[in-house]
Amino acid sequence: MAQLTLIDIKDATINDVAFIQQIYAHHVATGLGTFEEVAPTLAEMTARFNKLTKQNFPFIVAKLDGEVIGYAYAGDFRERSAYRFTVEDSIYIAPAYCGHGVGQRLLVELILRCRGRGYKQLLALIGDSNNHGSINLHQKFGFTLTGVMKDVGYKFERFVDVVIMQLEL
């Protein structure tokens, strides 16, 4: 496995969206970290990317030898104006690189960028109480558990919790 020092964290560009879509499609099809049940098309992912970046939300990728191996972004927690200082994170890693520190690098940079944009709270809404990788990652960087919504999602023929974690920026 490549060392973390060889991984570049960069602003995502429109040229990265196809790779982002492939990574996300894998997680939609195989995991409970997202409650989407049908992977968005490339056109849908492009529209999401354009909306986030047009609103100046941070959207970053991890690259190894020019290949996107993970991505992260922050976006609206809720769209009502009273929530404008609170954002929610999303982090997805290519399957071959899960558990190798890519998420750590992305989360550190995402936190810095959120602080730099003046946000006050960063939330993680984590699919599945058993998603220990994501829960541990967020705890490692100062997120605290603020609640668990029990059985609010239904995927793969079972009900799934959402773990809510929060970082004061």
DSSP string, 4-72: GGG-EEEE--GGGHHHHHHHHHHHHHH-SSS--SSPPPHHHHHHHHHHHHHTT--EEEEEETTEEEEEE
Tell me the per-residue pLDDT of 100-111, one tens digit each, with 9 for 90 and over. Answer: 899 999 999 999
Residues 6+ apart with CB under 8 A from 76: 55, 57, 83, 87, 88
- Report the percent of the chain where pLDDT is more than 90: 95
CB 137 within 8 A of CB 103: yes
Distant-in-sequence, close-in-space partners of 146: CB < 8 Å, separation ≥ 6:
164, 165, 166
**144-155 and 158-168 as β-strands: parallel, antiparallel, unpaired?**
antiparallel
Beta bridge partners of 1: none
pLDDT grade for 135, boundaries at 50, 70 and 90 = very high
Whether the predicted model's global pTM rises above the 0.85 cut:
yes
Show the domains of the chain with their CATH numbers.
4-168 (3.40.630.30)
Does the pLDDT value for residue 5 go beyond 90? Answer: no
Work out the pLDDT band at 6, boundaries 50, 70, 90: confident
Cα three-residue angle 73-152-74, rounded to 5 degrees:
10
- Assess whether pLDDT exceeds 90 at residue 4: no
pLDDT surpassing 70 at residue 115: yes
